[in-house]
């Protein structure tokens, strides 16, 4: 059996599981069956993808099923690129299923989650395997609808209904753009099979349009600014393990779609393709993390941080296009490796963080950070694992987020050799925005972890929180260990990515695993090198050494006492810094131009008994500048067209006649 057939059987098994979830009446049993089957199928899919990627990446395995468009059938194909993404998606899927096994116990409406969860996984896998436009779009829509159903789990909540509506509209816009993109790629003969498209490519005049449509279609699913507005509404609305899948995994399917269309189907890249991708990516990275810093809902913080990370990935892809268009294959391979590495990393730590947020939600029933605090003492395991995820996403060495960002910065350092002036001026700006985004991300996660897990509990719920079940912790622990592993041994990942990168950019990064001590050397040793393992060992050894020496030679006595706080400790937890007050300095620095933030302080005169008030106003410019005008235009047009409903029959007939004459004129004048 070829790998692609095997994977299709696994997809069928997932769909069957979805059916079982409907059939089984007892929800406790249904939960075990659904998540148990999902773990098994996703784990099997990981094995298939891993074997394919490591053993025979150059071989593509294809299959045609007698479904879909009658004259081409439903085409499926597994190559190195889709194998890598199958790996990432099912890694997230396995972890989410394991987590769901424990977390799902607290689900108030399991019947609204269980059937759609495996269907969602099946849809994502199908997108990766699709090898013609029809199957691709069908799977894409299936994935969107399954995830929409999951977003609407708690549909009685007004906010969730709005989130679902916005998601549905944005998903339709995205699919529509992709439909047009594939239409242009297929050309007048209608060769919708990817094989046919690959053979003739897009006609040269249309590449710009296809690129724009691909960016629009996949970018709206991935969350590129300003197409991101649905994401922070929809991702947090779903149950936490589904949020993890949507944020950590489904956005990666969108990245896959972009890579498939632009790097594979569209033909050899031109340098200017990189420009819109770089601009969109860098803007998304910086704005996404700024938004994240302003949020008070922990799941929203994570959703906005997903937007930032998608921006980083698109910067890597944009650099790969810019290098590739100039024939700088080695540099393109480096940028592509950085982007794909970050795809894997983000899937790992974002799933971990959403699981952590879900654990907090289970323990306290609270998503607002202002109501939490002090959870590290009450939920030590969750706290530690969340901390690992926070450190990884903040790009701290030796964890995995740092390894991919380091590669990205090395790629930027190669770009002064780009010949075009537009790129020469653009790339330094992109580099600065990338550095800014990394620093802001660290601040964002100091805030998210610090307010939620540290300090004193700010509410009754946080005081009485208890650690969550073992399965949830196991799911988080696996992901945390993977974060550490991929960070400490980046050379292994880079080499595993080599066939994918080779297929996309025409070359690969130098072989890394033969370098002494498993260092990574992207270009040449004299230029730059990094060794995650040694950095990890150095830090561990020197910290243990310091602890050992101090405890042996000097003092190891500890006394517990009330907090010092400069002599004026206040027993009320309300005197602590809150999420809002923590973000206030950053808001004052960056909020002015990013959100047109204003602060108004109403301080009553001495003797006046009124409480003082501070009001902060933030404007979401994406809504105000992009969506509100569109909404106004649509409403205006609808208002005008509304009159057509109330005409006399005479007017209707003359309208019909006019339309007929117009159409005849068009046909008559057609060349």
Partner 1 sequence: MIDMSLIDGLSIQISQMLLVLVSAPLLTGLVRRVKARLLRRQGPPLLQPYRDLIRLVRKEAVIAESASWLFRIVPYIVFAATWVAAALVPTFATGLLFSWSADLIVIIALLGSARFFLALAGMDVGTSFGGIGSSREAMIATLAEPALIMIVFTIALVAGSTQLSTVANAMLAGVGLRVSLGMALIALIIVAIAENGRIPVDNPATHLELTMVHEAMVLEYSGRHLALIELASSIKLLLYASLIACIFVPWGLAPAGAPLHVHLIGVAVYAAKLGVAGILLALFETMIAKMRVFRVPDLLGAALMLGFLGTLLRFVSRSL
Report if residue 616 touches partner 1, rule: CB under 8 A.
no
The token pair that represents 597 in the structure block:
């933030």
| DSSP H helical ranges for 192-273 | 194-200, 207-222, 231-237, 240-244, 251-259
Give the C-alpha separation, 451 to 437, whole Å: 21
Beta strand 613-617 with 598-602 is: antiparallel
Query: Using CB under 8 A, which of 12, 59, 550, 656 touches partner 1?
Result: 550
Is the distance from CB of 207 to CB of 271 less than 8 angstroms?
A: no
Query: Using CB under 8 A, which of 50, 443, 503, 626 touches partner 1?
Result: 443
CA separation (Å) from 96 to 114, 148, 356, 465? 13, 17, 12, 23
Report if residue 599 touches partner 1, rule: CB under 8 A.
no
Q: Closer CB to partner 1, residue 65 or residue 543?
A: 543
Q: Closer CB to partner 1, residue 212 or residue 533?
A: 533
Q: Closer CB to partner 1, residue 2 or residue 519?
A: 519
Q: Closer CB to partner 1, residue 446 or residue 622?
A: 446
Residue 441: CB minimum distance to partner 1, A: 9
Report if residue 391 touches partner 1, rule: CB under 8 A.
yes
Residue 72: CB minimum distance to partner 1, A: 47
Query: Using CB under 8 A, which of 413, 474, 503, 616 touches partner 1?
Result: 413
H-helix or E-strand containing 91? helix 80-103
Report if residue 439 touches partner 1, rule: CB under 8 A.
yes
User: Which listed range, 146-154, 233-241, 406-414, 463-471, lies at the site for partner 1 (CB under 8 A)?
Assistant: 406-414
Is the distance from CB of 42 to CB of 93 less than 8 angstroms?
A: yes
H-helix or E-strand containing 283? helix 274-294
Query: Using CB under 8 A, which of 554, 641, 649, 668 touches partner 1?
Result: 554
Residue with tokens 């294809």: 62
Q: Closer CB to partner 1, residue 246 or residue 286?
A: 286
Q: Closer CB to partner 1, residue 442 or residue 477?
A: 442
Backbone angles phi, psi at 608, to 5 degrees: -80, 130
Count residues contacting partner 1 (CB under 8 A)? Answer: 93
Half-sphere exposure of 641 (CA within 13 A, CB side): 6
| DSSP H helical ranges for 326-378 | 329-364, 375-378
Is the distance from CB of 48 to CB of 6 less than 8 angstroms?
A: yes
Q: Closer CB to partner 1, residue 93 or residue 522?
A: 522
Give the C-alpha separation, 563 to 667, whole Å: 85
Give the C-alpha separation, 372 to 463, whole Å: 8
Report if residue 451 touches partner 1, rule: CB under 8 A.
yes
Of the candidates 361, 388, 364, the one whose C-alpha atom is nearest the C-alpha of residue 445 is 388
Report if residue 589 touches partner 1, rule: CB under 8 A.
yes
Report if residue 529 touches partner 1, rule: CB under 8 A.
yes
Q: Closer CB to partner 1, residue 248 or residue 383?
A: 383
Report if residue 409 touches partner 1, rule: CB under 8 A.
yes
Residue 373: CB minimum distance to partner 1, A: 7
- Name which of residues 456 to 475 contact partner 1 (CB under 8 A): 456
Give the C-alpha separation, 580 to 615, whole Å: 11
Is the distance from CB of 308 to CB of 437 less than 8 angstroms?
A: yes
Residue 376: CB minimum distance to partner 1, A: 4
Query: Using CB under 8 A, which of 97, 306, 507, 531 touches partner 1?
Result: 531
Q: How crowded is residue 396: how many other Cβ atoms within 10 Å of its Cβ?
A: 15
- Dihedral sign for Cα 481, 486, 492, 498, please: positive
- Name which of residues 269 to 288 contact partner 1 (CB under 8 A): none
Report if residue 487 touches partner 1, rule: CB under 8 A.
no
Report if residue 593 touches partner 1, rule: CB under 8 A.
no
- Name which of residues 289 to 308 contact partner 1 (CB under 8 A): none
The token pair that represents 92 in the structure block:
């997230």
User: Which listed range, 51-59, 102-110, 217-225, 518-526, lies at the site for partner 1 (CB under 8 A)?
Assistant: 518-526
Half-sphere exposure of 347 (CA within 13 A, CB side): 28
Q: Closer CB to partner 1, residue 526 or residue 642?
A: 526
Residue 525: CB minimum distance to partner 1, A: 7
Residue with tokens 């040793």: 525
Query: Using CB under 8 A, which of 145, 422, 535, 618 touches partner 1?
Result: 535
Is the distance from CB of 93 to CB of 14 less than 8 angstroms?
A: no
Query: Using CB under 8 A, which of 528, 618, 619, 621 touches partner 1?
Result: 528
Report if residue 397 touches partner 1, rule: CB under 8 A.
yes
Query: Using CB under 8 A, which of 327, 569, 629, 658 touches partner 1?
Result: 569
Backbone angles phi, psi at 418, to 5 degrees: -65, 135
Report if residue 538 touches partner 1, rule: CB under 8 A.
yes
| Helix (H/G/I), strand (E/B), else coil: 616 | strand
User: Which listed range, 80-88, 138-146, 188-196, 534-542, lies at the site for partner 1 (CB under 8 A)?
Assistant: 534-542
User: Which listed range, 182-190, 253-261, 436-444, 649-657, lies at the site for partner 1 (CB under 8 A)?
Assistant: 436-444
Query: Using CB under 8 A, which of 200, 424, 470, 613 touches partner 1?
Result: 424
- Name which of residues 348 to 387 contact partner 1 (CB under 8 A): 373-374, 376-377, 380, 383, 387
Backbone angles phi, psi at 64, to 5 degrees: -120, 125
The token pair that represents 339 in the structure block:
């982007």
Is the distance from CB of 110 to CB of 27 less than 8 angstroms?
A: yes
Q: Closer CB to partner 1, residue 514 or residue 640?
A: 514
Is the distance from CB of 499 to CB of 411 less than 8 angstroms?
A: no
Report if residue 56 touches partner 1, rule: CB under 8 A.
no
Report if residue 546 touches partner 1, rule: CB under 8 A.
yes
Residue 291: CB minimum distance to partner 1, A: 14
Q: Closer CB to partner 1, residue 551 or residue 596?
A: 551
| Helix (H/G/I), strand (E/B), else coil: 337 | helix
DSSP 510-533: PP-TTSGGG-B-SS-TTT--B-HH
Residue 240: CB minimum distance to partner 1, A: 23
Query: Using CB under 8 A, which of 395, 488, 493, 497 touches partner 1?
Result: 395
């Amino acid at each position: 059996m070829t790998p692609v057939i095997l994977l299709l059987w696994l997809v069928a098994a997932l769909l069957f599981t979805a059916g079982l979830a409907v059939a089984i009446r007892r929800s406790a049993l249904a939960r075990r069956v659904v998540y148990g089957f999902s773990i098994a199928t996703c784990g099997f899919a990981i094995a298939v993808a891993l074997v394919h990627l490591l053993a025979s990446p150059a071989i593509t395995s294809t299959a045609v099923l007698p479904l879909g468009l009658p004259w081409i059938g439903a085409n499926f194909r597994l190559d190195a690129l889709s194998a890598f993404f199958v790996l990432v998606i099912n890694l997230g899927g396995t972890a989410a299923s394991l987590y769901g096994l424990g977390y799902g116990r607290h689900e108030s409406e399991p019947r609204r989650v269980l059937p759609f969860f495996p269907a969602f996984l099946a849809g994502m896998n199908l997108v990766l395997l699709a090898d013609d436009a029809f199957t691709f779009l069908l799977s894409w829509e299936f994935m969107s609808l399954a995830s929409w159903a999951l977003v609407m789990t708690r549909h009685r909540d007004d906010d969730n209904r709005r989130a679902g509506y916005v998601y549905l509209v944005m998903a339709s816009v995205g699919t529509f753009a992709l439909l047009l993109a594939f239409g242009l790629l297929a050309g007048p003969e209608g060769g919708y099979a990817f094989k046919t498209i690959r053979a003739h490519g897009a006609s040269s005049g249309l590449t710009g349009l296809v690129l724009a449509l691909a960016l629009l279609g996949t970018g709206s699913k991935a969350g590129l600014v300003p197409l991101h507005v649905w994401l922070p509404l929809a991702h947090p609305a779903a149950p936490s393990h589904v949020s993890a899948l949507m944020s950590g995994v489904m956005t990666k399917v969108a990245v896959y779609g972009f890579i498939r269309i632009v790097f594979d189907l569209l033909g050899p890249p031109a340098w200017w393709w990189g420009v819109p991708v770089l601009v969109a990516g860098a803007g998304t990275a910086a704005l996404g993390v700024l938004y994240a810093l302003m949020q008070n809902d922990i799941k929203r913080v994570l959703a906005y941080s997903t937007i930032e990370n998608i921006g980083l990935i698109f910067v890597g892809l944009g650099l790969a296009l810019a290098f590739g268009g100039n024939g700088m294959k080695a540099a393109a391979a480096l940028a592509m490796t950085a982007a794909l590495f970050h795809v894997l990393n983000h899937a790992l730590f974002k799933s971990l963080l959403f699981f952590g947020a879900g654990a907090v939600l289970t323990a306290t029933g609270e998503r607002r950070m202002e109501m939490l605090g002090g959870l590290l003492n009450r939920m030590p395991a969750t706290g530690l694992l969340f901390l690992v995820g926070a450190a990884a996403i903040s790009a701290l060495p030796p964890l995995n987020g740092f390894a991919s960002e380091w590669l990205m910065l090395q790629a930027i350092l190669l770009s002064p050799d780009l010949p075009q002036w537009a790129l020469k001026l653009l790339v330094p700006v992109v580099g600065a925005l990338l550095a800014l985004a990394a620093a802001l991300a660290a601040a964002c996660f100091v805030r998210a972890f610090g307010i939620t897990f540290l300090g004193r509990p700010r509410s009754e719920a946080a005081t009485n929180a208890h650690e969550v079940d073992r399965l949830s912790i196991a799911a988080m622990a696996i992901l945390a260990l993977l974060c550490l592993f991929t960070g400490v041994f980046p050379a292994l990942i880079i080499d595993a990515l080599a066939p994918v990168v080779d297929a996309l950019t025409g070359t690969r990064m130098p072989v890394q695993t033969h370098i002494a001590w498993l260092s990574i050397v992207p270009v040449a040793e004299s230029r730059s090198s990094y060794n995650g393992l040694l950095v990890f060992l150095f830090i561990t050894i020197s910290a243990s050494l310091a602890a050992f020496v101090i405890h042996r030679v000097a003092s190891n006595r500890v006394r517990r006492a009330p907090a010092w706080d400069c002599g004026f400790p206040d027993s009320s937890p309300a005197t602590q810094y809150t999420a809002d007050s923590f973000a206030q300095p950053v808001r004052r620095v960056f909020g002015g131009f990013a959100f047109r933030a204003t602060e108004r302080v109403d301080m009553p005169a001495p003797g006046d008994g009124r409480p003082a008030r501070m009001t902060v106003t933030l404007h979401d410019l994406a809504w105000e500048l992009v969506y509100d005008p569109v909404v106004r235009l649509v409403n205006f047009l609808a208002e005008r067209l509304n009159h057509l409903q109330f005409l006399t029959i005479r007017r209707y007939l003359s309208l019909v006649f006019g339309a007929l004459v117009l159409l005849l004129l068009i046909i008559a004048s057609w060349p």
